[in-house]
Structure 1
Amino acid sequence: MAETIEETYEHEVRRKIVRTVKIQETSSNTTKTTMTTPAKLYGKDLSAYEEIDVEDLLAKLSPEEINILAKEVDPDDSFLPPSQRCSYDCDKESTGPLNRKQLIEHINKQAIETPDVPEAKPYVAGVVRGKKWIPPDPPKKEQDVDEQITIDLGEEYESALEDASQEEIIDLAAILGFHSMMNQDQYHASLLNKGQPVGVGWDGITKASKQKIYPQDPPNDTDPDDTLKQVKEDSSKLIDLNWNNIKNISEEKFDSLFDALANNSHLEILSLTNVGLTDKQAYKLADALEKNNTLKVVNVETNFISPSGIVRLVKSLLKTKTVEEFRATNQRSQVLGNKIEMEITSLVEQNPTLLRLGLHLEFNDARHRIAAHLQRNIDTIRKDLALRLQFRFFNHRKTPLIK
């Protein structure tokens, strides 16, 4: 049985050596094709060893020589199994299955029982052994850091910093991020509040600046009855109608205003912000916009108009095509939805006169398409204006050549 194990081991070693030799021959052949001069082994070209049978060479070796050769095989050979890559051979017989607990106890016991290696020189407290380390001199660049640098901040900033207290300068340095420039000693000193009064520094409480009180906007003093009468009479003095933030306007006044807008020929700006408009008044306003030919700005922001009412108002702008600015944000429904936004986009793209649109659109496609169309309308107006100015200029300079 022992002879069979030795023969099996010898066979495995031979097979491992044969694989390694073949790999080395393959790598050497590849190297030979890339090298400018042919590689040689013992004074001969590698091609001279191609016809030699490796099995015949290994058959002539003794078991001791095969073991020596096996230890020289590359352990990182990926063609060999992991069990054959290790060159360590254990001749001891197995004592049984692995018991991890007993192994750890045995290792601890050996570590305790093994005596320490005596030192060449006994330890003496307070005696420094060896050469004491002396830090090198700092470079010249670090020594020059303490030199003062003059910076011209300007008269305004210099006067402000001269009058500022130490607490204000510390707060300013924290806001500007200068605390990251502190060294370790300065950082710990700031944490301990050295040289600072109580309540200032890291443990202090940040005091907010006093809020400035601005006076409230004066209420809208426009008289709805008077302006409504002027709209009905088509007065040339009333160009801007502003009913913003006027509360408790009755539905009858809104109906009378929208009926009068249909026949008005002088009003150009209509502002109805935060007056409580609903869909009922919005549809009547849309009917009036389809008949009016002079309005250029319509503002109905901060009301209670639904998305369908906004679509109806935008659609009414296509009838006369005179309104250049339309605003209707901050309504009852903050989100219009994809369907409503796409419908508004298609209506705006059909309008050649609209220049500004005040609506909150959620989808990028609608915003980009509307912005591109409004820019095209602005460019068209600029071109028409430039052509008109050029035409007037040449007509003014035109003089007959022959009198």
Structure 2
Amino acid sequence: MSFFGYRRELSKYEDVDEDELLASLSPEELAELEKELVDIDPDANVPIGLRQKDQTDKTPTGTFSREALMKYWENETQRILEDEIAGGSPKPDFGALNSAPMLLRPQRAEPIRLTPPPPPADPNATGNPTVVDEALQQALNNSPELTEVNLNNIEDISQETLIRFAEALRSNTHVRVFSLANTHADDPAALAIAKMLRENSSITSLNIESNYVTGKGVMALVQALPGNNTLTELRFHNQRHMCGGQVEMEMVKILRENNTLIKLGYQFNLPGPRMSMTGILTRNQDRQRQKRLQEQRLQQQGAPEGAGYPRTNALKGTSSPYSSPRASPWSSPKLNRSDLELKNALRPVMVERRGEEGSRPSTPMRSAHDQLMESIRNRTGGSLKRVEIQHHLL
């Protein structure tokens, strides 16, 4: 429809009396018209979030009270915020909800159970086979058989038990791994573990991930590491409360004084502390490698002579399995003057080096027989003497 056609459609309503039309409407029709006008032309003084029409105005059903429900959720939200600020673990107050004058759901009769009820839940149904009481007693007794305390995923363990484990491990010398991930551990447990790290000298791995430890507890753990020379792995990621940028920077500043930590289970939010921590871990790994190489060299220097080089034993005065050749019973003949002259004449001729010959063709070498015959020809008969042949050569 064109603009002019639309104007012609509206022209037929110009002569309508609005007051007479409104007077002929029923109260229900007036209420419906008012709702439509609110949607078409809302009041600019009303906030946008409150301009929607009320769709909760209906006949109450049963003893439901909307005001009581809203009051309950306001009080519950306020209590949860106060608990989080105080560092506790909030839990819904179902007693206040049940005492509210309202019905949450219609009452139903208990159905007839045709099968026996299921057995009660196993406290160790999480798959962790650790018996908490036995492990705690072994840690207190410093049992050599207990080298790992694994409390992961045991949700019903109390915070007092976790603190007792930390106190038991302060003087323990056999436990190497202590894990308590997903056990609802909070700051008091973290503070007890930090105190344990200052005194323990055997634990190399600590895992306290997925718990309720705040930045205060994390800083307590980190501050205990400069005086600890055995811990090489620390994991505390995925806590309920974020550490924050200030805690991360303080963490890196403190860990610069630690030389044994080579694994850190925490995802830094800031790139600066993340890169600095990577450099610290790399430095500690290199120091550990240099320490191992030095220990190996010291072990080789302290070994007995010949232990590191077994092949030299055959050269140090050991007798040969084969007997030495016996001396000949015949004495070697003595050479007279004429024999010496003949021997000197039979010396090999030195061959010039190729570098001195240059590009000249090499001459064929003369054999020893040719040299001997030439020497005999050059000799006169008077210079030749008779040589007596030894009897043992006959």
TM normalised by structure 1 equals 0.44
TM normalised by structure 2 equals 0.45
Higher share of residues assigned helix:
1
User: Which protein has the larger Cα radius of gyration, Structure 1 or Structure 2?
Assistant: 2
